[in-house]
Each structure stands twice: as C-alpha cells, then as structure tokens.
Structure 1
Amino acid sequence: MLVALRRLMSSLGFKREEATDLLEPEELARWYSGLDLPQRRAISRKLAAHVRAPRAVREPSSLPALARGRLAFEQDGPHGPIPLHHLKVELWDRDLGGPDDYLGEGFTDAEGRFEIRYDPADAGAGDLPDLELRIFEPQHTFRPDGRVVESWRRIGSQRGPDDHGGLHHDFGTVRLPYWEYDPTTPLARLHVVEEGTPPTEYAPGRSLAMLKAVAPIELVKRQHLLQVRLGQPPSLTKIQADYPEPMTVRMERQEPGSSRSDAYFGERLLNGMFSSIMDRDPEQPGDANAFRLYQPWNAYEQDGLHCLPDVDVRLRLVEGRLLPVRIILGMREPGATAPGSPVTRRSFTPADGAAWEAAKRMARVSATLDTELGNHLAQCHFNVEQYAIAAHRNLRRNPVRWLLMPHLREVVLINHSANGFLVGPTGYITRASALTQRGVEARLEHLMGSYDWRGFAPAAPVCEGHRYAHAANLFWRLLGEHVDAFFAEHDAQIQAQWTEVRRFSEDLVTHSVPAFVCRYLRARVPGKPAPWFVRSERMDLDAKAAEPPPRAVSAVTRTDLPQPGELDALKQLCRYVIFFATFRHAWANNLQWEDAGEVLYACLGLRWGKGGALSTEEDLDVAPLPSEATEMLWISWMLSRTNYGFLLSNEEQDVHPRFVELLRAHAAAFAALGLDIRTVSSRINI
C-alpha cells in the first residue's frame, strides 16, 4: 500500500522526497477536499485498484446466490404502488469496524423489480454477509466536446438480514420517499415532511453567493427591526438611505420627477421587471396603437387594511413610446374583505393632476404584486417546480434528462424556503399586501391554471423600444436551435425510452391544477374572433374552456411509443421549461432592485389612510410600515444580487457546451437589448 501511495503521489506531480512522507488521515482529508471534482475523480480512479483487490470477471449467472425485490414510491397511485424504474441498486455486506464489501449490482426494470446475483464468499473468509441494498440515481456532466459522463448519487438504502447463510433473499417491496407530491396543496409541490430535507441540495457555491449578497445589508435590516421593537421606528427616509441607492432614487436625484413620469411608467411595463403581455384595447379593436393591461384583484379575499382595487390601464403608443392615457380603478369600501365585494369604478386621466399621479402609483403597486405572484413566483418558480418533480420521478435512461435536469436542479429548494418566507400565514406577501393567505392561495391556483407548454411562444414586440420582447424572442430562437440539435443527436434513444416520457407526461397532467379561464375571457375569446387578445403566451382557451375544465398542463403522449407529432411536442415542452427556468426568471428576478428598490415608488401594498388610499407620496399613512419597508428592501436586494449557477459559467458542467457557446456568440446582440447574458442563471435557485 505504501508503494502504491508513493507511485500515486508521484503521478500527481509530487516530488519524490514529498511522496516518502505519509499524510496523516486529517491532513489527507483536508488535501482531498480542497481539490476540484476532476482531480478527485482522477485520484479515485488511480487509487481504486490499490485499495480494492481486483476481482476476476465472472458470469453473473454462475454466481450461487440471488437477491431480488422491487422499488416503489412511498405514496401509492390510484392503482396501488408506483414503481421506481431504472434506478441502480447495489448489494453490500455491512462490516462493523471495517470497510463494507461490495457483492453485486443491478437496475430496476420498468416495474421497479430487480435481481442481483452474488457470491456470499465475497463477504470475506468465515464471514456470512450482512446484506444491505443501496440505491442510486443518475447524475451527469458534459465534456467540452458534448459527450456525457454519467455518475451515480446514493439516495437511499434498505437493510437486509444479518449473517445471511442462504442463497436467496427477497427484499420485497422497498418503499422509497422519493420526490413525492405534497397532498396538502392543490398545486404540484414537493412533499417535505416536518424536520425533513428535500431529496436534493444546493451547489456549494450558491451558499457563498447568498452570504456575499446578504452580508452588507443584514445588519441594516436587524437594526431597523430592533428600533421598531423598542418603539423608536426609523423614518422611511432613513430606512431608504441606509440601503444602497436604487435606480429610481438615483433618477430623482439627477432629474426630479423622471421616475414618476408617464413615459417611464410605460417603459417599465414594457422592459422592467413588470414586463407584461400587452393586449390590444378590446374597446378600440381597429386601433393598432391602443393597449390594455388589466389586473382583477376584487376576485380575492383581502385584509381590509390595504387598498387593492381592480386596475384597468389603457395605454397608447405615441412616437415609439408607450404612454398611459387612462387608469380605471375598481375601489372597494375601506374594510371590505370578501371576494367580489361591491366596487366603485373611478377613472383618471393625465388631466387630473395629483389624482392621476396617485392612480399611477396605485397601478405601480398593483403591477409589483402581480409580478411577484405571477411573472416571478407562479410562472417561474412554481410552474417550473411541477416539471422538476415529474422529471426527477421519471427521467433516467431517456436523454431528455441530460437536456432538462441542469435547469431543474434547485428550484424545489428555493420554493420550499418560500413556503413560509413569502407565502403562508406569516409570509411577507401575506403581511405586506392586501391579499390574505386564502387570497394569495386562490390567486396562485388561478395563475397556475393558466400556464401550459403547448403553443407557447414569446409575444411579438409592440414597438422598436420593446427590449424585453426582442430579447425574449432572440433567446427563444437560440433555445429552439439548441433543442433541435439535441433531439437530432439523441433521436433513437429518446424514442427507445419513450415509456419514461409517457410516465413523465402522466405525472405532469395528473398533478397540475384544473385549467382556469375567468368569466370575462370565457365570454369574449373561446370560439370567437378576438384579434385584441395575445394568444402566443397563453394556453389554448378554445381547448381549455370546457366544463368541467381539463387540467392546465397538456399531455405530451399517452402511449409507450411516440405517435406522429409527439416528438415535436416533447421538444416544445423542453424549450418552454428551459425558457422559464433561465431567461424569464432572470428578467423578472434580476430587475427587482431597479423596480422595487424604493418604498415610495413601488411596494406590495398601500394602506387605507385617513384620507383614503389615493393620496400623495408625502402621506405616510398609506405607505408601508417601517418594519415592512426594511423587509421589502432587504428582499429586493437579496433576490436581485444573489446569483450563482450562470449559464455561460456552467460551473457544474451539466449544461451542454453547445448551448453555452450559442448564447456567448450572441452576447453582443443581447447587450444591445439591455441584457448581459452572463447574468442569466441556468436554473432557479433564488
């Protein structure tokens, strides 16, 4: 062993005199842990032959003993146990006080069954094996030339009998709590038991990125909250000044009024974190320059303390700029909480002076909440989570795993954190906005009911200055080239493993929420010409408006062999998922500090003040409380500044290098549209 270690250290570049001194175990552990992944793999490959005696290759059928069993999910399906297919299983002999002995391995079949032949003598002379089954899921990296390197990650084990002297053992049905659905929510969410941990983990660098982003502002927030608890709350001016300067504050310092102008309001609806689908104005169907943005908040339970009216914004394209021309607010009475409460509609135009500015502020607040719940939390985080759960449960041998998994790897972790941090009875959105917990849950379910991969494509730009839409369409085109090339490269194996796609599709459809089409759209769109309605980013309302409503997510396939058009459908699904896990999330998330970094400019909720909610920014009765204000700024900074796992950096080497180079080749085109492509992450982890 000493000679082997010396040779190994010499082969790794150590001088001869250095290799003559053996490292202590603690020193060896520190040295090894400081190496990167390729170096650790190189050491493992070189050392394995010296620490494990070579074993002659034997025909498995000649081995005298057999272990068998079946793997199944912890939770049953409608027809009983759900098989865990295509996982690697290893059989080991447990040895107390010494290294365990490897006995053999196999893979579960389509029904979760496995058989492992082994030789009991491999447990060692005079030792009857203490059986243990170890279970592994596949992982991958890409080499620079695009070739895949597979590895295995241990995900569970099952103890068998001690001192097993027989030649046969049946483990029976082994239940594995693996990527289970949460039965307590209508959304497709991962089930994590109390005090439990999700079946995945963050990359190590992500924690460092979080610490780096939060450390400068953590003490600021804690000081503000302590002052509040002591009955000496800081002013909103002081709170704002204690944080880094956001874009709107800088604009006001350089040019007062610029961030509150009509032109800037329209520009942020096109290109800010608020970037939204711009429908044509249905009341002016022949006017190509008239647009509408509508947010229906009266449909949800509210707390009666904050004012959140229905917001109907009419806009007009004038000389290349989108300008608001009328804002209609459906105002409840103060204190009204029930969904569908009576409302009074009030209309405002630029001629209304201070009242117009107050209406614009209310519309900004509405857009901020709609972005956080819709564009960001629902459409990116929770939407991608449902694909992540179904993919992890089903995709193992199908190459689509290599395409999707890099973009699905951490979303369930950050979403699990959001369960109490942002939503739920004490979540920040519940406390800082007008929506109650039931209101938030209802809104999220309606939003999730409106998302489907089928037919999606980014909407066309409404003008030359619509940078978001131009960038989205460029990214979508490049993503399509990447997906097409991947499918061409792996077409035969994708089709050969189509059963995994069928099970993936079944999980998606079964666990998605019912499709949601509101009464207004039901009356105006399905089966009728509606040229004002942008369909490309919406689900097919003609298909989804049936009673009872179908599931929101469409099926890719229902058979174990691909039918005509289904390969293209799978391509579309992959393109859709990657788009929202990368580009769309980056645009909504990374601009938070620019658009939600000033409390008086945009927040999640305005309160009913002594003179109502439609007052000036100087009226602090309607502004957020100091505790909510500092939390808002802390969250906005943390979300937009915590970045790790960039597409172009490809830190884990799990994204196909072709996609990385394709995006890098178009970096200048993205930069011209205001997007640094280096800031787009490969997955949602913040």
Structure 2
Amino acid sequence: MGSLGFKGRESPRNEVLDAQELSRWYAGLALEERLAISRELGPRVRASRPKRDEATLPAVAVGRLVFEQEGPGGPRALHHIKVELWDRDFGSPDDFLGEGFTDPEGYFRVRYDPADAGEGDLPDLEVRFFEPQHSFRPDGQVVETWRRIGSEKGPDDHGGLHHDFGTLKLPYWEYDPSTPLARLLVTEEGTPPTAYAPGRALAMLKAVAPIELVKRRHLLQGKLGQAPGLDRIQADYPEAMTVRMERESPGSTRTDAFFGERLLNGMFSTLMDGDPEAPGDKAAFRLYFPWNAYEQDGDHCLPDVDVRLRLAEGRLLPTRIILGMREPGVKQAGAPVTRRSYTPADGPGWEAAKRMARVSATLETELGNHLGQCHFNVEQYAIAAHRNLRRSPLRWLLMPHLREVVLINHSASGFLVGPKGYITRASALTERSVDTRLLHLMGSYDWKGFAPAPPICESHRYARAANLFWRLLGEHVSAFFAEHAQALAAEWLEVRRFSDDLVAHSAPAFVCRYLRATVPGKPAPWFVRSERMDLDAKVTEPVAKAVSPVTCTDTPQPGELEALQQLCRYVIFFATFRHAWANNLQWDDAGEVLYACLGLRWGKDGALSTEADHDVAPPPEEATEMLWISWMLSKTSYGYLLSNEEADVHPRFVELLRAHAAEFAALGLDIRTVSSRINI
C-alpha cells in the first residue's frame, strides 16, 4: 500500500484506513495501480462461507460489555454494540469466527465453530466491538458501515467449547466527572472516541496559513521588546469589514444606526426583549448584560450594561446606555457600583458608552451565543446520542450534526477558556467567573418549547433567516419521523436512555434575578419567551435540570414522538444555522481591535476614553491573537450542509435548503456557508 503512495494511520499491527478516504484514493488510481492493489489484497480477503444455522455451531463465547464509569446503580450496560469473535494469528490474517450484538443489558453470546480457526489450529480468542456509521445514497437509502471501537483478548489455544469473557469495561463516550457541565472525558494520555473528517485539516491549514506568520512575527517582536503598535498590527492582517467601511466612509461604523444594525443582524444578533419601562410600546427594546454578578480581574473594566433602543423608520437606534461601574481594581462579585446614564447628547461620553456596549456584546456572543449555546450545548446532546443511539433511526437524523463538536470543544477547553485561555486573559472575567458564567448559561438552555424569536422589523434579517431555516428544518424532521415512525417506536429504549443521560448530566436550571421577574405572579409582557426555557416550570421543580426529559418510559407515550421531533429540530438548528451565524461573522464584527474586543482596560483616564487612547485597548499580544482567532473562525470552511462531503446528511434536507437559496440570499445569507456540524 505504501509503495503505491497511500499513507494510512499506523497501529501496532495494521494500517487503519478511513473508508471514505480509501474510497476517494482508490477512485483516483490508474487501472494498472488498481490491479496491483487487487493482487496485493487478494490473499488477505476472507473467503465466503456457506450460511450456517448458528444453533448447530458447537462452541460459544459469552460476556457482558459495560461503560467504564459506573452509574448510581452500578455498571451501565453498553447496549446494541456489534461484537465479532476472531482467532488471532501471528504472521497471517486473523480468522473470523462469528458475530452478534449486545442485548439491552450489555450481554453478548457468539456461537462459532473452532474448526474455522484453520486446520490443526486451536483458536486464540479475541472479541472486537463496533459502532455503526452511515451514509446516504442520492435516493435517500441508508448505507451502514461499522467502526471498531475496542477489543479484548481471550485465551490462547482455547480447546474448550465455552468461554466467558466476563464483564468488560469499555471507555466509551464517558462523562467528565470534574465539571458540572456535560463534557466528554478525555484523559491526558488518551484520545477522543472520534476524529475529524480528512478534509477538515486541509481546510484549517488553508485558513490559517496566510496569517500564522503574521501573528508569530508580532509575538516575537513583543518578546524582543519591539512590540508593534495597534495600527501596525491591524494593517498586517487582511482588511476587515469595519476597516474597509471606515476607509470608504469615515465614521460610518460608529454611528447609532450601524450599532443597532449589528445588534439585529451581526455576530451580536440576540434576543430583543421589550423595554420594561415602556410596557406596551412595541418600538422600545432592551439588552442587559449583568457582568457585575461575576468576579473580575481588576485590570479590565466590565460594567453592567443596560442598553435601551427604539425602532424609528425601520431602523433600531440606541437611545440610552446605563453602565453600572465598579471602582478600578475591585475584583469580587456583586461589588458596589455607580450607575451612569449616557444618551446621544453626551457626545464623546456616548461614543465611549457605545464602545463599552460593543465590547460587552462581543464577550456575551463568544461565551453565550457561540461557545455556550452552540458548542457546549450541542456537546451534551452529542455525548448522550453516541452513548445510546445505535439501532434507532434517530442516529441517521442527528449524528451528521453531532460529529466533531467534542473535538473542537476539547481544544477550546485550553485555547479559549481555562487558566491560560484567551477569554480568561483578554477579558475582565477570571477563570472561575468564566466557569460560573458558562454554568449559568448552560442552566438556561432547553429544547422544550424553543422557537426562534420573530423579527422585530423588516430589516431584522437574522430573525427572518432564522425563522425560514427553522420552518424548513421542521419540514425535514417531520418527513423523517413520518418515514421512520414505526422503527423509532420499536427502539424507544434507546431514546429513553438518551433522554435519561441528557437530564442526569444537564446543568442545574438557572433562573437569574432578571428572569425571575417573569415567574408566576409577576407578569412581564416585555419578555420574549420563545427562545427561553419554561421558567414557570423550572422555578417550581424541586431539583430542576435545564434540559427537560423527552420520555420516562421504555415505550412512547402520547405526545412523546412530537417532543422528540422538537428536540431534534432544536439540536440541528444550533449545530447548523445558529452556529454558522455567530461563527461566520466573526471577522466582520470582531476583525478590528479598536471597534470590538473582549475587554477594555482601566487606563490613566479611566476606561471610557476615546479610541485614540491605546492604554485602554488590548495590548499588542492580545490584539494580534484576537485578529488571528477571528480570521480563523470565520475562514475555516469544511463540512457544509449543501456540500455534504461525507454524504451523511439526508439528501432531502440538502435539496430543500438549496431550493430556497434565493430566499436566504435576499436576507444576506449564502446558505452554502452553513455547516452541517460544529467543527470550528
């Protein structure tokens, strides 16, 4: 194989080949090369055997497969895993003896004929475990393949007719016990139980290569005591949208109209609650960021930010910004604050307040809309799905959108958060307060009752695109459930265990003081409920979890198939459209250091000075890292829905989106840029 130019991933005994990678490579070979491969592999192909009645086979191997981590009631069964029994041979191909599947309690039983080990050879037993993989043909038919996930050696030269492998613990999609969030356990010396698609690494390289040397040069200059200024750093990177706009029309990106437009349609796009001080006024809105509730580092200024906005002639304009400022150097959560109110009449003070609000929105987007609501939120569904969905057709619907998220999140755990993470270093939040904020955010996300909020005006392109995508996604999910309703019900045990894992490992429901204003007895007509969990239910549950159960029984009850549809729609929405919107606009909205960053510092003249005061802005090393990250996030392009590179997304959904590409384009979204999963 190596002589023909194929470099597989080496294991101690064999080349482990990715099926799709091998298929693409083989298809590109000339006829002579294909014939050479056939001659080389021919002796290693297992001869077909006549079908035999398993009951007549004389020997049997039994055992039980469980997760490595035990549950509250003891060992947790690994159900519906494919089990193959092999005879290990040294220097020649191993002999296949038989196969079976674990039952709902993890037990397996494989009958075999010892003579299949070869003439004069007693079998050296080994069991191998496999999980299902799938792809779709163009007509929507499923093609199943199997991926090896583990093995266990048995006795050598086994001459008996019965062998019990006992209870085997397999480290398989285990939860990390060190965090209150539902995160995948990856030990220091271990590797995640999945891998990126082959093309993703090349896409990453193409995105980062043009700017990697730029960042390294800046960092080296800093170490040599010759750090470049912010203007030089900005000029060394590709021109961002706001930089281009300022070059073409100075001041255009600092206007009140542009501020409101980006809150509606930019990376910052978020829920627009009504203004509680103007009940019933459908043109008055509020955004609130309660940062003083968290511990801060004392070096950065991160006040509570309360933005009041008004619709006027189809544009959303800020009218007042209230900042709850703590004193410089104060670190504790809930510190005393001085509230300062700014309006457009305040001139430079108003511009400084808008900048502080942009920084606040940027940090909230990275921690909330992006990392929390998309990355970590989807990860909890990915872990539960991989642990439990094997026979259920639900796997075909969900898995294409859950692959790879745990990989990128594992990287983010050290790269973005943690003691040395960029968010920890570049913002006012400490490692502890980042963790607390993420726990609070995860405690507010639930699939039940979710729907994208309606647009507040005609120019609210994000909300209009979100609702269009949500509608089309609903059509796709409904069609899938109609097609597979019987099989979904037949394998409901897997759904039950999927739901149980989700709820058991969900963050505790978190209802902050702001949200508690909406609970029973406190009507809040200004409050947008469609994207938030059922607060009335959560505040009355004794020990409420953020994620609601789909089912509590092994057979579907009335309304539970519909609930499962809603869950699937929710997960796919955040793994695709919502993540794409927050991620793809990073370079547009966070590609200029002086326009938006994760944190402003206390300078000699305080934190509310002009953009000309670089003592307030990020230092050079953080500035170049910020631009590098924003570019990398926006420009790494692999795994698109419409490209469907792995052919694992149902072609019906692909064609449904493609048919509405013009509608999305009219709303400023190229549907071809929406990824099928979170891998960046």
TM-score higher than 0.5: yes
- After superposition, the Cα gap between the structure-2 partners of 1:516 and 1:404, relative to the gap in structure 1 and judged at 3 Å, is same
**Residue 453 of structure 1: aligned partner:** 447
2:73 to 74, 79, 85: 79
**Residue 16 of structure 1: aligned partner:** none
- After superposition, the Cα gap between the structure-2 partners of 1:159 and 1:525, relative to the gap in structure 1 and judged at 3 Å, is same
**Residue 149 of structure 1: aligned partner:** 143
Q: Are 1:524 and 1:530, in contact at CA under 8 Å, matched by a contact in 2?
A: yes
- Correspondence 1:27 to 2:20: no
1:477 to 471, 493, 500: 471
Query: Any idea what the Cα deviations from partners look like across 1:293-332, whole Å, max 9, x if unmatched?
Result: 0000001110000000000000000000000000000000
**Residue 495 of structure 1: aligned partner:** 489
Q: Distance in 1 between matches of 2:313 and 2:116?
A: 81
1:285-684 alignment, distance < 5 Å:
285-546=279-540, 548-684=542-678
Using the TM superposition, give the Cα deviation of residue 547 of structure 1 relative to its aligned residue in structure 2, in angstroms. 6.0
**Residue 205 of structure 2: aligned partner:** 211
Using the TM superposition, give the Cα deviation of residue 52 of structure 1 relative to its aligned residue in structure 2, in angstroms. 2.3
**What secondary structure is seen at the aligned counterpart in 2 of 1:217?**
helix
- Correspondence 1:36 to 2:13: no
Q: Are 2:416 and 2:422, in contact at CA under 8 Å, matched by a contact in 1?
A: yes
Name the aligned partner's letter for residue 516 of structure 2: R
**What secondary structure is seen at the aligned counterpart in 2 of 1:144?**
coil
Q: Are 2:452 and 2:531, in contact at CA under 8 Å, matched by a contact in 1?
A: yes
Q: Distance in 1 between matches of 2:527 and 2:305?
A: 18
- After superposition, the Cα gap between the structure-2 partners of 1:148 and 1:607, relative to the gap in structure 1 and judged at 3 Å, is same
Higher deviation after alignment, 35-44 or 491-500: 35-44
Name the aligned partner's letter for residue 609 of structure 2: S
Name the aligned partner's letter for residue 430 of structure 1: T
**Residue 256 of structure 1: aligned partner:** 250
Query: Any idea what the Cα deviations from partners look like across 1:23-43, whole Å, max 9, x if unmatched?
Result: x87228579976418959999
Higher deviation after alignment, 526-535 or 644-653: 526-535
Q: Are 1:453 and 1:554, in contact at CA under 8 Å, matched by a contact in 2?
A: yes
Using the TM superposition, give the Cα deviation of residue 480 of structure 1 relative to its aligned residue in structure 2, in angstroms. 0.2
Q: Distance in 2 between matches of 1:49 and 1:450?
A: 58
Q: Are 2:154 and 2:165, in contact at CA under 8 Å, matched by a contact in 1?
A: yes
Q: Are 1:516 and 1:549, in contact at CA under 8 Å, matched by a contact in 2?
A: no
Query: Any idea what the Cα deviations from partners look like across 1:212-231, whole Å, max 9, x if unmatched?
Result: 00000000000000000011
Q: Distance in 2 between matches of 1:547 and 1:482?
A: 34
- After superposition, the Cα gap between the structure-2 partners of 1:123 and 1:77, relative to the gap in structure 1 and judged at 3 Å, is same
1:93-242 alignment, distance < 5 Å:
93-242=87-236
**What secondary structure is seen at the aligned counterpart in 1 of 2:657?**
helix
Q: Distance in 2 between matches of 1:93 and 1:192?
A: 31
Using the TM superposition, give the Cα deviation of residue 57 of structure 1 relative to its aligned residue in structure 2, in angstroms. 1.6
- After superposition, the Cα gap between the structure-2 partners of 1:70 and 1:38, relative to the gap in structure 1 and judged at 3 Å, is farther
Using the TM superposition, give the Cα deviation of residue 51 of structure 1 relative to its aligned residue in structure 2, in angstroms. 3.0
**Residue 10 of structure 1: aligned partner:** none
**What secondary structure is seen at the aligned counterpart in 1 of 2:243?**
helix
Q: Are 1:142 and 1:149, in contact at CA under 8 Å, matched by a contact in 2?
A: yes
**What secondary structure is seen at the aligned counterpart in 1 of 2:291?**
coil
Q: Distance in 2 between matches of 1:163 and 1:519?
A: 68
Q: Are 1:526 and 1:545, in contact at CA under 8 Å, matched by a contact in 2?
A: no
- After superposition, the Cα gap between the structure-2 partners of 1:527 and 1:128, relative to the gap in structure 1 and judged at 3 Å, is farther
Using the TM superposition, give the Cα deviation of residue 125 of structure 1 relative to its aligned residue in structure 2, in angstroms. 1.0
**Residue 273 of structure 2: aligned partner:** 279
- After superposition, the Cα gap between the structure-2 partners of 1:527 and 1:643, relative to the gap in structure 1 and judged at 3 Å, is farther
Q: Distance in 2 between matches of 1:406 and 1:57?
A: 34
Q: Are 1:527 and 1:542, in contact at CA under 8 Å, matched by a contact in 2?
A: no
Q: Distance in 2 between matches of 1:202 and 1:578?
A: 19
Q: Distance in 2 between matches of 1:57 and 1:371?
A: 59
Using the TM superposition, give the Cα deviation of residue 531 of structure 1 relative to its aligned residue in structure 2, in angstroms. 1.3
**What secondary structure is seen at the aligned counterpart in 2 of 1:36?**
helix
Using the TM superposition, give the Cα deviation of residue 520 of structure 1 relative to its aligned residue in structure 2, in angstroms. 3.0
Using the TM superposition, give the Cα deviation of residue 237 of structure 1 relative to its aligned residue in structure 2, in angstroms. 0.3
Query: Any idea what the Cα deviations from partners look like across 1:584-605, whole Å, max 9, x if unmatched?
Result: 0000000000000000000000
- After superposition, the Cα gap between the structure-2 partners of 1:28 and 1:612, relative to the gap in structure 1 and judged at 3 Å, is closer
Using the TM superposition, give the Cα deviation of residue 521 of structure 1 relative to its aligned residue in structure 2, in angstroms. 2.2
**Residue 13 of structure 2: aligned partner:** none
Using the TM superposition, give the Cα deviation of residue 545 of structure 1 relative to its aligned residue in structure 2, in angstroms. 1.3
**What secondary structure is seen at the aligned counterpart in 1 of 2:520?**
coil
Q: Distance in 2 between matches of 1:467 and 1:103?
A: 60
Q: Distance in 2 between matches of 1:637 and 1:119?
A: 59
Query: Any idea what the Cα deviations from partners look like across 1:468-505, whole Å, max 9, x if unmatched?
Result: 00000000000000000000000100000000000000
Name the aligned partner's letter for residue 68 of structure 1: V
**What secondary structure is seen at the aligned counterpart in 2 of 1:115?**
strand
**Residue 15 of structure 1: aligned partner:** none
Q: Distance in 2 between matches of 1:546 and 1:335?
A: 39
TM-score (norm 2): 0.95
**What secondary structure is seen at the aligned counterpart in 1 of 2:288?**
strand
Q: Distance in 2 between matches of 1:604 and 1:381?
A: 19
**What secondary structure is seen at the aligned counterpart in 1 of 2:617?**
coil
1:12-23 alignment, distance < 5 Å:
none
**What secondary structure is seen at the aligned counterpart in 2 of 1:651?**
coil
Q: Distance in 2 between matches of 1:40 and 1:246?
A: 39
- After superposition, the Cα gap between the structure-2 partners of 1:386 and 1:34, relative to the gap in structure 1 and judged at 3 Å, is closer
Q: Distance in 1 between matches of 2:130 and 2:642?
A: 29
What percent identity do the matched residue pairs reach? 78
Structure 1: which 5+ runs fail to align? 1-23
Q: Distance in 2 between matches of 1:106 and 1:622?
A: 65
**What secondary structure is seen at the aligned counterpart in 1 of 2:66?**
strand
**What secondary structure is seen at the aligned counterpart in 2 of 1:298?**
helix
Q: Distance in 2 between matches of 1:74 and 1:399?
A: 26
Report the number of matched residues: 663
- After superposition, the Cα gap between the structure-2 partners of 1:48 and 1:395, relative to the gap in structure 1 and judged at 3 Å, is farther
**What secondary structure is seen at the aligned counterpart in 2 of 1:579?**
helix
Q: Distance in 1 between matches of 2:43 and 2:568?
A: 41
Name the aligned partner's letter for residue 474 of structure 1: L
Q: Are 1:217 and 1:634, in contact at CA under 8 Å, matched by a contact in 2?
A: yes
- After superposition, the Cα gap between the structure-2 partners of 1:108 and 1:486, relative to the gap in structure 1 and judged at 3 Å, is same
- After superposition, the Cα gap between the structure-2 partners of 1:48 and 1:471, relative to the gap in structure 1 and judged at 3 Å, is farther
TM-score (norm 1): 0.95
Q: Distance in 2 between matches of 1:330 and 1:316?
A: 21
Name the aligned partner's letter for residue 336 of structure 1: V
**Residue 12 of structure 2: aligned partner:** none
CA RMSD of aligned residues (A): 1.8
Structure 2: which 5+ runs fail to align? 9-16
**What secondary structure is seen at the aligned counterpart in 1 of 2:517?**
helix
